[in-house]
Structure 1
Amino acid sequence: MKILILVIHVLAAAGIIGLVLLQHGKGADVGAAFGSGASGSLFGATGSANFLSRTTAVLAVVFFLSSMGLAYLSGQRTEQKGVMANQPVPSKPVQPPSEVPVPSGGAPSKAGEIPK
Structure 2
Amino acid sequence: MMENLVLVLHSLTAIAIVVLILLQQGKGATAGASFGGGASQTVFGSSGSVSFFARVTAIMAVVFFATSFGLAIIAKNKADIGDLGVPAVIESRDAVQDSDIPMVDDDADDGSTIPEVPED
TM-score by length of 2: 0.67
Match of 2:27, SS state, is coil
Partner of 1:83: none
Partner of 1:60: 61
2:84 is aligned with 1:92:
no
Identity, % of aligned positions: 42
Residues in 1 aligned to 2:86 and 2:22: alpha-carbon distance in whole angstroms: 53
Partner of 2:39: 39
Per chain length, whose mean CA-contact separation is higher, i.e. which structure has more relative contact order (CA < 8 Å, sep 6+)?
2
Gaps of 5+ in 2: 105-120
Which 4+ residue blocks in structure 1 deviate beyond 4 angstroms?
Answer: 93-96, 98-101
Q: Which protein has the bigger helix share?
A: 2
Count of aligned residue pairs for this structure pair: 96
Q: Tell me the C-alpha RMSD between the 2 structures.
A: 2.7
Partner of 2:107: none
Residues in 1 aligned to 2:91 and 2:18: alpha-carbon distance in whole angstroms: 53
Q: Which amino acid aligns with 2:11?
A: V
Q: Which amino acid aligns with 1:92?
A: V
Residues in 2 aligned to 1:89 and 1:23: alpha-carbon distance in whole angstroms: 52
TM-score by length of 1: 0.69
Gaps of 5+ in 1: 80-87, 102-108
